């Protein structure tokens, strides 16, 4: 077995080496220049002359200009998906997904280096580096003096008289915040797609007649289609008209009537704001939703929808002038959370592949002119795709009745206008023509059959080469017909289209051949990258995430099907031999694993003199940065993390084909993804053991403070060394401090493991978590974790539980017995 030949050169690491792999370093937010020229990290308010440049920072990509007094909201630039353009916007500053609540320049993304400035006559002015004005505030009231962001998310400009000159709450985009109102004539407009802030397809308006309505807009004239949602707050004999939409701080949303009555948008009427953020957003797909997000973000599930309007947008009122919720020829299906999804029928595809909510076009040639070219006898060229309960209610042009299903299909086949036919109630045959609008799945159709007419050989203008080679005389003749049977202008167009499609097929093949070749180079599921490719992905190794003993880790984005953020570890080739070993080791070890608590290696690069490893990017950095922080993370989250590490290790030890000992478990090597899930990383020092070989002799690996005694005592090394390190780590997670802290006043507390043993012999663990109310409130679990930890750091490896046992103890499947008192010998041995 090849894997066993991998031996790692002895290396004793000192605690000082922070081997953090994909560690995310915090660095200063740059680019904020105040009028006096000083550089500030964040500010509470801005005055005339202040400006901010749009640029990425290694912190979190965002350039923050101002934050609200309690830090709930931030105002500044966030990068758009392409990371080269920026959005001037307001977002929640305390939760990890930077949800945008207001934005300025959705239609004109700001290139890197753009500048926003506060000017007395113009308010906020956003200018591109080439001097082009991208956006500025409109309808200012007076000369502006300063601006600040309130804790409710409202950015306010004040004039010389210290009165409001302009505020974002009066110019909402797609989101309302608690304490914000929508007055008559005011509107929300959706963005185009979740991460495309251009003008969207839907609008919510408090009409002058007091009705709150939502409707689609027909681009680009913005003509409003029929409302698909309306509040019943019209003026009439029996009802008082609506005057404004109110969003109370409790999250309660209603239309206030003239007679002070409230018209509820939902039966839900609010909750405590101390615990939660609320926002009401007109989503890009036309659904107006109230969202809630826990303010204690750690362990939170993100935004959850409390209610939405309308209940089923797919079945809402039909739009005679537009395409409906989805594009033309598309079908709307209601997903979870009352949100629609749009799908093209089979043999139809998106007109704009980047817009899944847009229109679909047939992939085949269809129409009366084409049918005529082919000739009547070729009607057999068509076939039907059948769907159930799918309808485009406004696209009928003929109703045949009474009719049988067979007659219905035949009639559509013979009719060059017919694109779809629906057969209902065993009697009714509706023929429909293109473009089909308001497509929907509706169980209310009671099993109606929808037949979509498609060309049998699905030949289209883009003739796949394979088809031509195989046999299909008909598709060739079709092309010939179309080419020679139409005008010369059309011919030119068609030939151009053919050439282009051949070109693309060629390009596609070329590209795919490349991938095929590299993929079978090494591990089966790992990808082999070219050096230049990674150079591009990391923008020439620009943004450093951290450094380890073997190399530097950089941030990047790579496009493999879709764009994914990556962390690239560039091994230091000056230490070439060691690097080669670390490289091979990491590749082989991670290549063998697949577990949700282990970091995933995406691929590698083996260039002449360079060795690189490509991992998925972990946005929340290392466990070390989380727990060795002034603010203790929530107790519940810490428990989750302790579980996660244990599960990951149990998997490495027991569930892989080859047992894997990590050998370097410490908080710097535990990474956290965007949801704070644990991902164990840095397998450079790991050892592989065959199933029947459970011990090994080897030189010392790992990091002082976390290494077990057997390394020093020339004892066989087993998976129990990881158990020891886990014990130390667990104590650190419970206490949120480093195992070894030399500069403490009380020397007895200098080494956490020793102090924990002392506490244990004195019968109480409380001093260890003295200031940690959450831990003290959960004493039973706290004690359990302490005891598990003490079991793990037993001097005698055979006394330490297996990681499997540890997970069972954590889960409460196995009772935790009181551990033996660690002997004097084992203590202090960690302390040279």
Ligand X SMILES: *[C@@H]1O[C@H](CO)[C@@H](O)[C@H](O)[C@H]1NC(C)=O
Strand partners, 78: 87
Cβ of residue 377: shortest distance to ligand X, in angstroms? 19
Closest CA to 553 of 619, 605, 615, 602: 615
Cβ of residue 372: shortest distance to ligand X, in angstroms? 22
Cβ of residue 381: shortest distance to ligand X, in angstroms? 10
Cβ of residue 542: shortest distance to ligand X, in angstroms? 12
Cβ of residue 736: shortest distance to ligand X, in angstroms? 23
The residue to which tokens 């290396």 are assigned: 11
Shorter beta-carbon distance to ligand X: residue 456 or 509: 456
From the number of C-beta atoms within 10 Å of its C-beta (0-12, 13-18, 19+), residue 526 rates as buried
CA-to-CA distance for 296 and 298, rounded, in angstroms?
Answer: 6
Strand partners, 133: 127
CA-to-CA distance for 691 and 515, rounded, in angstroms?
Answer: 34
Task: Find all residues with CB under 8 Å of 561, minimum gap 6, and list them.
Answer: none
Which tokens hold the place of 792? 């793990």
User: What DSSP string describes 532-600?
Assistant: HHHHHHTTTTT-EEEEETTEEEEEEEEEESEEEEEEEEEE-GGGHHHHHHHHHHHHHHHHH---TTBPP
Shorter beta-carbon distance to ligand X: residue 83 or 179: 83
Where along the sequence are the contacts to ligand X (CB under 6 A)? 44-45, 60-61, 79-80, 83, 109, 148, 192, 196, 198, 355, 383, 456-458, 464, 557, 565, 619
Shorter beta-carbon distance to ligand X: residue 302 or 565: 565
Task: Find all residues with CB under 8 Å of 788, minimum gap 6, and list them.
Answer: 727, 730, 801, 806, 809, 810, 816
Which tokens hold the place of 12? 């004793």
> Could you count the other beta carbons within 10 Å of the beta carbon of residue 672?
22
Q: How far is CA 134 from the centre of its chain?
A: 28
∠ CA 749-666-624, rounded to 5°: 75
Cβ of residue 6: shortest distance to ligand X, in angstroms? 33
Strand partners, 102: 90
Cβ of residue 812: shortest distance to ligand X, in angstroms? 35
Catalytic: 664? yes
- What is the helix (H) or strand (E) element at residue 243, kind and residue range? strand 242-247
Closest CA to 688 of 556, 588, 601, 606: 588
Which tokens hold the place of 49? 């002359």
Q: In 419-487, which ranges are continuous DSSP H helix?
A: 465-470, 473-484
Shorter beta-carbon distance to ligand X: residue 46 or 418: 46
Strand partners, 557: 565
Cβ of residue 346: shortest distance to ligand X, in angstroms? 9
- What is the helix (H) or strand (E) element at residue 408, kind and residue range? helix 405-413
Task: Find all residues with CB under 8 Å of 326, minimum gap 6, and list them.
Answer: 332, 340, 342, 343, 357, 439
Find the catalytic residue in 174, 371, 664, 722. 664
Closest CA to 533 of 559, 505, 497: 559
The residue to which tokens 């073997």 are assigned: 550
Cβ of residue 148: shortest distance to ligand X, in angstroms? 5
Shorter beta-carbon distance to ligand X: residue 383 or 442: 383
CA-to-CA distance for 590 and 572, rounded, in angstroms?
Answer: 20
CB 101 within 8 A of CB 177: yes
Cβ of residue 366: shortest distance to ligand X, in angstroms? 13
> Could you count the other beta carbons within 10 Å of the beta carbon of residue 683?
29
Shorter beta-carbon distance to ligand X: residue 588 or 600: 600
459 phi and psi angles, rounded to 5 deg: -70, 140
Shorter beta-carbon distance to ligand X: residue 44 or 762: 44
606 phi and psi angles, rounded to 5 deg: -120, 80
CB 554 within 8 A of CB 520: no
Cβ of residue 461: shortest distance to ligand X, in angstroms? 14
Q: How far is CA 331 from the centre of its chain?
A: 26
CA-to-CA distance for 223 and 693, rounded, in angstroms?
Answer: 74
Rounded to 10 deg, the angle between the 779-792 and 752-762 helix axes is: 120
Which tokens hold the place of 499? 């050439």
Q: Is 570 annotated as a binding residue?
A: yes
Annotated binding site: 570
User: Which residues fall in the annotated binding site for ATP?
Assistant: 570
Q: Which residues are designated catalytic?
A: 664
């Amino acid at each position: 077995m090849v894997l066993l030949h991998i031996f790692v050169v002895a290396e004793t690491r000192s605690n000082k080496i922070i081997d953090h792999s994909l560690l995310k370093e915090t660095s200063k937010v740059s680019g904020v220049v105040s009028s006096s020229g000083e550089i500030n990290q964040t500010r509470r308010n801005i005055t005339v002359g202040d400006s901010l440049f749009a640029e990425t920072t290694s912190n979190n990509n965002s350039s923050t200009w101002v934050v609200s007094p309690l830090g709930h909201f931030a105002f500044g630039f966030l990068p758009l998906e392409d990371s080269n353009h920026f959005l001037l916007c307001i977002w929640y500053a305390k939760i990890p997904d930077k949800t945008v609540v207001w934005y300025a320049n959705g239609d004109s993304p700001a290139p890197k280096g753009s500048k926003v400035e506060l000017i007395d006559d113009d308010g906020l002015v956003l200018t591109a580096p080439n001097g082009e004005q991208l956006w500025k505030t409109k309808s200012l009231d007076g000369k502006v003096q300063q601006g600040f962001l309130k804790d409710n998310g409202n950015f306010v400009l004040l004039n010389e008289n210290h009165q409001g000159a302009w505020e974002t709450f009066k110019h909402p985009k797609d989101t309302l915040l608690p304490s914000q109102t929508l007055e008559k004539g005011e509107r929300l407009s959706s963005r185009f797609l979740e991460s495309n802030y251009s003008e969207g397809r839907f609008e919510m308006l408090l009409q002058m007649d007091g009705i709150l309505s939502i409707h689609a807009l027909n681009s680009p004239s913005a003509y409003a289609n029929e409302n698909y949602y309306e509040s019943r707050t019209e003026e009439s004999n029996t009802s008082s008209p609506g005057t404004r939409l109110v969003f109370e701080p409790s999250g309660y949303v209603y239309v206030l009537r003239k007679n002070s009555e409230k018209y509820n948008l939902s039966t839900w009427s609010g909750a405590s704001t101390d615990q939660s953020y609320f926002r009401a957003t007109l989503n890009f797909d036309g659904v107006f939703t109230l969202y809630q997000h826990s303010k204690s973000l750690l362990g939170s599930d993100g935004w959850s929808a409390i209610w939405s309007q309308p209940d089923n947008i797919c079945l809402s009122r039909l739009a005679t002038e537009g395409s409906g919720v989805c594009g033309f020829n598309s079908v709307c299906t209601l997903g979870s959370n009352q949100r629609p999804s749009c799908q093209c029928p089979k043999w139809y595809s998106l007109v704009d592949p980047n817009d899944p909510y847009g229109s679909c076009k047939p992939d085949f040639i269809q129409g009366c002119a084409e049918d005529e070219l082919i000739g009547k006898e070729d009607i057999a060229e068509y076939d039907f795709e059948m769907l159930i309960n799918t309808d485009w209610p406004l696209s009928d042009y003929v109703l045949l009745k009474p009719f049988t299903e067979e007659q219905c299909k035949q009639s559509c086949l013979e009719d060059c206008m017919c694109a779809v036919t629906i057969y209902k109630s065993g009697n009714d045959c509706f023929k429909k023509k293109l473009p089909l609008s308001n497509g929907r799945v509706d169980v209310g159709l009671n099993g109606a059959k929808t037949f979509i007419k498609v060309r049998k050989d699905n030949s289209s203008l883009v003739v796949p080469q394979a088809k031509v080679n195989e046999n299909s005389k008909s598709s060739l003749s079709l092309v010939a017909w179309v080419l020679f049977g139409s005008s010369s202008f059309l011919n030119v167009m068609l030939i151009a289209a053919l050439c282009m499609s051949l070109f693309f097929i060629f390009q596609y093949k070329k590209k795919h051949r490349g991938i095929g070749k590299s993929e079978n180079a090494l591990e089966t599921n790992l990808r082999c990258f070219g050096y230049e490719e990674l150079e591009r992905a990391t923008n020439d190794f620009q943004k450093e995430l951290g450094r380890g003993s073997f190399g530097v880790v950089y941030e990047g984005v790579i496009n493999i099907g879709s764009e994914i953020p990556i962390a690239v570890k560039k091994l230091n080739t000056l230490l070439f031999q060691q690097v080669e070993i670390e490289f091979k080791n990491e590749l082989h070890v991670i290549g063998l694993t697949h577990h949700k608590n282990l970091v995933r290696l995406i691929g590698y690069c083996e260039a002449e003199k360079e060795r690189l490893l490509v991992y998925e990017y972990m946005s929340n950095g290392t466990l070390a940065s989380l727990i060795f922080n002034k603010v203790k993370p929530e107790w519940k989250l810490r428990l989750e993390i302790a579980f996660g590490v244990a599960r990951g290790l149990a998997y490495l030890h027991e569930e892989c084909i080859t047992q894997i000992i990590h050998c370097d478990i410490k908080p710097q090597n535990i990474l956290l993804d965007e949801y704070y899930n644990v991902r164990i990383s840095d397998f450079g020092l790991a050892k592989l053991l065959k199933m029947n070989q459970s011990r090994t002799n080897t030189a010392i690996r790992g990091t002082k403070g976390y290494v077990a005694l057997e390394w020093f005592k020339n004892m066989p090394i087993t998976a129990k060394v990881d158990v020891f390190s886990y014990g130390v780590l667990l104590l650190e997670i419970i206490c949120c401090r480093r195992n070894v802290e030399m500069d403490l006043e009380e020397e007895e507390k200098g080494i956490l493991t020793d102090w924990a043993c002392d506490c244990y012999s004195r019968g109480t663990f409380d001093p260890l978590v003295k200031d940690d109310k959450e831990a003290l409130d959960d004493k039973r679990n706290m004690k359990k974790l302490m005891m598990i930890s003490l079991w793990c750091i037993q001097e005698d490896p055979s006394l330490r539980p297996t990681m499997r046992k540890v997970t069972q103890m954590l889960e409460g499947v196995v009772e935790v017995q009181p551990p033996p008192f660690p002997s004097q010998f084992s203590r202090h041995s960690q302390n040279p």
